[in-house]
Structure 1
Amino acid sequence: MKKLLLSLFILFGINVYSYNYPFKNPYVATVLGTSMMMTPDIDEKIPIEEYRISFIETRETPANLDYQKDYKFSVALQDKKAPLVFILSGTGSSSTSLKTELFQRIFYTAGYHVVGVSSTMNTNSVVSLSYEKMPGIILNDGMDIYRAINKIKKIVEKKAKVSDYYLMGYSLGATHSAMVSYIDEIEKDFNFKRVFMVNPAVNLYTSASILDNMLEKSIDNDIRNLFVRINTITDNLTLLTGKNEDLRKENPEKVLRTLGITDKDLQMGIGLVFRLSAIDINFLSDATNKRGVYVDKEIEKYENMGAYFEKINFASFEDYVKRLAVPYYREQYGTKMSLEELKKYTDLKVIEDYLRNTDKIMAVTNRDELILTKENIKYLQDVFKGRIIVYPYGGHCGNMYYYENVKNMLNFMRGGKLVEVKK
C-alpha cells in the first residue's frame, strides 16, 4: 500500500508549484534537514544488510587499521525482480550512515533494490579500495567506485533479479556519480538508465576551501573559541533538559534558538564536521602511503594515537592538498603537477562535454548552497540546461528529504519530466 501511495503521490503531483520547505535559513537547513525525513509513507525499516569483500590482496594494511582491510557496503533487496540504484555517499560518510540509509529507505519504498556505497574519503574506502590512497582527483575516485560497484553487481545478481541499473549521489557522492556515469559510457557494464545528482560540488578544492574558511571565521581563527562555544551550548542544553517538556514539541529551529545557538555556531558546527573528515584524510593518506608528514614510523596495532593527532593539530583540507596530495601526485605524474594543475582534476569541467550532451543525468542544488559560489551555480545551470532544478533555499543538502524534492527525484528516475519550481 505504501508503494502505491508513493507512486500516486509522484504521478499526480502538479507540474508547477510554490516551494514551501520550512527552513529558510541555509545553516539551519543544513544542520536540521539533513537528518530529517520529510516525505510521507516511507518505510521506517527495510532489510538492510552489510557486506564485506576483499579488493587488493597484495596491499599491506597498517596494523592499527587492520579492521578496515575489507571493503564494506550495504544492501537492501526486494523479493522480486526490480531496478537497482547505487547510492553514493557524501564526504567521509559510510555506506551505513544515516543520510545514505534515508535515501535507501526512499528508493526501497519506491520499489528499487538499493546499495549504499561509502565515500572515497571514508576511512574504509581509503584503506581497502583506493589504489592511490590519496582521494580528491575525481577521475581516480570514480574509477575506484566503478571497480567497487562492479564487484557488488556480481554479488547482488546472485541474490536477486535486477531489471535495470540507476545511480545517484549526494554532496561529494553527487560529483562522483557524474564521473562514474562517464566511465560507464566507455565500459558499458551497467548502462545506467538515469543518474541523479543531489547538491554536487563543481570543484572539490573550491568547496573544501569554503568549508575550511567557514570554520576558521566562525571561531575567529582561534581553536580555543571552538571549545568555549561547545561548553556554553552544552551548559544551555543541560539547563533546559527536563525543565521544559514542551520544548520537544516546538519547531526545531526555535529549539536551536532557545539553546542560544546562533548562525555563527551553526557555521562552526558545519565547518567542524568537515574538518574532522579533513583530519582523517590527512592521517590516513599519510600513514597508508608512508609519506612521513605526520607519521614517521610503523604504527603498532594498539598504539596510543594521541601523539599523531597532536602533530596533525586540526589540519585542514588545504593542508592535505599542499602537504600530501601535491607532493604525491608530483612524484606520480611529473614535476609539472602544481597546486593549480591539481585543482583542474578536482573539477567537473574535466567531463564537461559529456555532461552537456547526455540526457540521462539530472542535477539539483539550492540558490543558497553553502559549498558553491554563484559562478558554480551558473555553471551548473549552463551545463545542465533543461536537466537541473535550483531550489530557492535548502542550504547544503538540507532539503533533500523534503517531499517535493523526493517527488522530483523519483519522477526523474522513472523517466518523467522535470517540475518547475516557483521562486
Structure 2
Amino acid sequence: MTPLPRLLACCLLLLLPLAHAAPPTRPVPEDPLLATISGVAAEGGLLPADDVPTVEYEYVRYPWRPVPDVLWFAGTMRYTVAAQPGAAPLAFVIAGTGADADSSSMRTLRRALYQAGWHVVTVPSPTHASFIVAASQRSLPGYLFGDVDDLYAVLQDLRERLAGQLQISAVDLVGFSLGGTQAGLLAARDAQEHRLGLRRVVLVNPAVSLWNSVSRLDALLEDNIPGGLAHFDVFVDDIFERFAAVYSSSEDMTFDAEFVFHTLGRGRQASDAIGALIGAAFRLSEASMLFVADVMRDAGFLKPAGYPLQTSDSLSGYLRVSAGVSFRDYVRRFLLPQVQRERPALTLDRLIDESSLMQVGGFLRRSPDIGVVTNADDIILGRDEVDWLRTTFGRRARIHAHGGHGGNLARPEFLADVIALLGAPRTEVAHASH
C-alpha cells in the first residue's frame, strides 16, 4: 500500500472510536490528545440511532450553476431532518470542519436533541465538499464572513422548506467545533436582521480564533513527526503497520483510546504519534477543502487554470500536493488573494481578526440566550482563550476539566449542559416508549 492510502486508512482508524462505545463508567482520559481521539461514545440513556426517525434530503442553492465533472459526487448538499410528531422547537445543528450532516458528532447531537423534544436539522460544514459546490456563493471555505453569509441563507431556505412539514414553535441553533464559531457569528447576524428569529444558541467546543486553532492543529502534524515533515511517509507507514499488526492479532479488540495508547507505546512517544495523527486527519480535511475550492473557482492554485479535470483523471497527485499545504499557507497564498478580488484593501491581519469570536465579544457578553459548552483542555484553544470564553459567557459557560476536542461530546453530563443552555424543558414524546 502506498503512503497516501495508508494515510487515509490511519485517519479512518482515528475516527473509529466514535462508532465503538467505551463503557460509560470509564473516565474521560486526562491526556487531552487521548481524550480527543477516544470519543467516548457513552450513550447515557439516549435512544438508539435507529429509533430516531431521520430523513435525508438534498439541497442545491444554485441549480443553474454547472458542477465540474470531477466534483460530480458533491453536486448536492445533503441535510438530515428528525421530526417530532407534533409542535416542537426546531434546532439547526452545524457540523465541524470537513464534516457532513450525518457525521458521528452530528448523530450524537441529533439523538440528544431529538430525545429532549426538538425537531432536529443537521447541516454539513461550509468546509465540506458538498456545501462548497452546492451551497456556497463564493466557494471560499474558511472565509468566515462568506461562510456565515452562506449558512444564514441556507438555514432560511431550509426553514421555509420545512414550514409546511413541521409544527415549529421556535428556532434554536447549535454548532460544533468550527460550526460553533460560525453559530456565534450567525447569532450576531440574526440579532440585527431577525430573518431566522433565533431563540437560543449553544456553541459546542468552538474555536475562539480560527487562525490560532488551525495553527495548533497544523503544529500537531508538523512538530510531532520524527525527523520532520520530510519523513512523513515513513511515519505513516510505521503507524499503519503497528495498527494493522495489533488489530489483526485480536478478534475482540476494541478500537479505543486504550488500544491506540498500547499500540503506539508509552509516554511521550505515544502522545507525539497521536498528535501527529490528529494533525494528519485535519490536514486531509483541509486538503480536500482546498482542492474543491480551487476547482470551483478555477483559480490555478493546484491545477492549471482553464484545465477541465475529468472523472477519469487521477486525483492522488493533487491530494498529495494539497496535503502539503498548511492552513496558514492556504490563507496566505489562496484565500486572501481570492478575497482581495472582492475587497482589495483587506489585509492578512484584518482577515485573521474577522475570523474570531472576539469580533462579536460584546454581543456575546450581553446576550443571555447564548451559551458555550467546552473543555478546559480543548486542544484547539489556548488557556487565554478558555479564560476569554469563561469571562465572556459567565454563567452561560459550561467548561469541563477534561475531554480534549469533542472527546466527551457523547457523555451524559456534557449533553445535559447543551440541553440546559437551550432551555427547553425535557418532554415526554410518543416515541420514547417504543
TM bin (shorter chain): 0.7 to 0.9
Q: Please list the CA deviations of residues 339-387 of structure 1 after superposition, one character each: whole Å capped at 9, or x if unmatched.
A: 2121111111222221111111001221111111122112212211221
Match of 1:259 in 2: 263
Match of 2:297 in 1: 289
Scaled by the length of structure 1, the TM-score of the pair is: 0.87
Q: What pairs up with 1:270-309 in 2 under 5 angstroms?
A: 270-296=278-304, 297-309=307-319
Looking at structure 1, the residues matched to 297 and 273 of structure 2 have their Cα atoms a distance apart, in angstroms, of 36
Q: Please list the CA deviations of residues 305-339 of structure 1 after superposition, one character each: whole Å capped at 9, or x if unmatched.
A: 234334435221112111111111222111x3222
Looking at structure 2, the residues matched to 68 and 177 of structure 1 have their Cα atoms a distance apart, in angstroms, of 24
| 2:339 is equivalent to residue 323 of structure 1 | no
2:288, 2:319 within 8 Å by CA — same for their partners in 1? no
Looking at structure 2, the residues matched to 367 and 231 of structure 1 have their Cα atoms a distance apart, in angstroms, of 33
Match of 1:90 in 2: 96
Match of 1:412 in 2: 421
Deviation at 1:92, TM superposition (A): 0.7
Match of 1:9 in 2: none
| 2:357 corresponds to which of 337, 341, 348 | 348
Deviation at 1:233, TM superposition (A): 3.7
| 1:213 corresponds to which of 219, 222, 226 | 219
Match of 1:144 in 2: 150
2:36, 2:407 within 8 Å by CA — same for their partners in 1? yes
1:43, 1:109 within 8 Å by CA — same for their partners in 2? no
2:286, 2:323 within 8 Å by CA — same for their partners in 1? no
1:363, 1:389 within 8 Å by CA — same for their partners in 2? yes
Deviation at 1:186, TM superposition (A): 2.1
Looking at structure 1, the residues matched to 383 and 147 of structure 2 have their Cα atoms a distance apart, in angstroms, of 26
Q: Please list the CA deviations of residues 73-116 of structure 1 after superposition, one character each: whole Å capped at 9, or x if unmatched.
A: 11111122211111110001001112111111111111211101
Query: The residue matched to 2:84 in structure 1 has which SS?
Result: coil
Looking at structure 1, the residues matched to 282 and 82 of structure 2 have their Cα atoms a distance apart, in angstroms, of 28
Output the amino acid matched with 1:255: F
Q: What pairs up with 1:9-28 in 2 under 5 angstroms?
A: 21-28=27-34
1:36, 1:401 within 8 Å by CA — same for their partners in 2? yes
Deviation at 1:21, TM superposition (A): 4.2
| 1:37 corresponds to which of 39, 42, 57 | 42
Looking at structure 1, the residues matched to 259 and 172 of structure 2 have their Cα atoms a distance apart, in angstroms, of 39
Query: The residue matched to 2:340 in structure 1 has which SS?
Result: helix
Query: The residue matched to 1:194 in structure 2 has which SS?
Result: strand
Classify 1:247/1:136 alpha carbon distance in 2 versus 1 (closer, same or farther; 3 Å).
closer
Deviation at 1:225, TM superposition (A): 3.8
Looking at structure 2, the residues matched to 362 and 149 of structure 1 have their Cα atoms a distance apart, in angstroms, of 20
Query: The residue matched to 2:394 in structure 1 has which SS?
Result: coil
| 1:114 corresponds to which of 112, 120, 144 | 120
Looking at structure 1, the residues matched to 124 and 148 of structure 2 have their Cα atoms a distance apart, in angstroms, of 12
Looking at structure 2, the residues matched to 245 and 58 of structure 1 have their Cα atoms a distance apart, in angstroms, of 51
Classify 1:216/1:242 alpha carbon distance in 2 versus 1 (closer, same or farther; 3 Å).
closer
1:64, 1:301 within 8 Å by CA — same for their partners in 2? yes
Q: Please list the CA deviations of residues 259-310 of structure 1 after superposition, one character each: whole Å capped at 9, or x if unmatched.
A: 2351111101110111011111221222111111111122123322234334
Match of 2:17 in 1: none
Looking at structure 2, the residues matched to 328 and 246 of structure 1 have their Cα atoms a distance apart, in angstroms, of 50
* Structure 1: gaps of 5 or more residues: 1-18, 417-423
Looking at structure 2, the residues matched to 349 and 289 of structure 1 have their Cα atoms a distance apart, in angstroms, of 30
Looking at structure 1, the residues matched to 260 and 323 of structure 2 have their Cα atoms a distance apart, in angstroms, of 29
1:108, 1:114 within 8 Å by CA — same for their partners in 2? yes
| 2:184 corresponds to which of 178, 181, 201 | 178
Deviation at 1:247, TM superposition (A): 4.6
Q: CA RMSD in A?
A: 2.2
Looking at structure 1, the residues matched to 49 and 69 of structure 2 have their Cα atoms a distance apart, in angstroms, of 38
Match of 1:13 in 2: none
Looking at structure 1, the residues matched to 245 and 316 of structure 2 have their Cα atoms a distance apart, in angstroms, of 32
Match of 1:268 in 2: 276
Q: Name the % identity.
A: 26
Classify 1:41/1:379 alpha carbon distance in 2 versus 1 (closer, same or farther; 3 Å).
closer
Deviation at 1:20, TM superposition (A): 8.7
Looking at structure 1, the residues matched to 317 and 32 of structure 2 have their Cα atoms a distance apart, in angstroms, of 37
1:21, 1:394 within 8 Å by CA — same for their partners in 2? no
Structure 1 window deviating more from structure 2 (196-205 vs 21-30): it is 21-30
1:43, 1:106 within 8 Å by CA — same for their partners in 2? no
Classify 1:78/1:243 alpha carbon distance in 2 versus 1 (closer, same or farther; 3 Å).
same
Match of 1:368 in 2: 377
Looking at structure 1, the residues matched to 80 and 201 of structure 2 have their Cα atoms a distance apart, in angstroms, of 19
| 1:130 corresponds to which of 112, 131, 136 | 136
| 2:174 is equivalent to residue 168 of structure 1 | yes
Looking at structure 2, the residues matched to 399 and 415 of structure 1 have their Cα atoms a distance apart, in angstroms, of 22
Deviation at 1:177, TM superposition (A): 0.7
Q: Please list the CA deviations of residues 33-65 of structure 1 after superposition, one character each: whole Å capped at 9, or x if unmatched.
A: 2x6234224333212111112211342321211
* Structure 2: gaps of 5 or more residues: 1-24, 426-434
Structure 1 window deviating more from structure 2 (164-173 vs 237-246): it is 237-246
Classify 1:25/1:204 alpha carbon distance in 2 versus 1 (closer, same or farther; 3 Å).
same
Looking at structure 2, the residues matched to 21 and 90 of structure 1 have their Cα atoms a distance apart, in angstroms, of 25
| 1:389 corresponds to which of 388, 398, 410 | 398
Looking at structure 1, the residues matched to 310 and 401 of structure 2 have their Cα atoms a distance apart, in angstroms, of 51
| 1:379 corresponds to which of 377, 388, 396 | 388
Query: The residue matched to 1:295 in structure 2 has which SS?
Result: coil
Query: The residue matched to 1:259 in structure 2 has which SS?
Result: helix
Looking at structure 2, the residues matched to 58 and 106 of structure 1 have their Cα atoms a distance apart, in angstroms, of 37
Looking at structure 2, the residues matched to 194 and 256 of structure 1 have their Cα atoms a distance apart, in angstroms, of 38
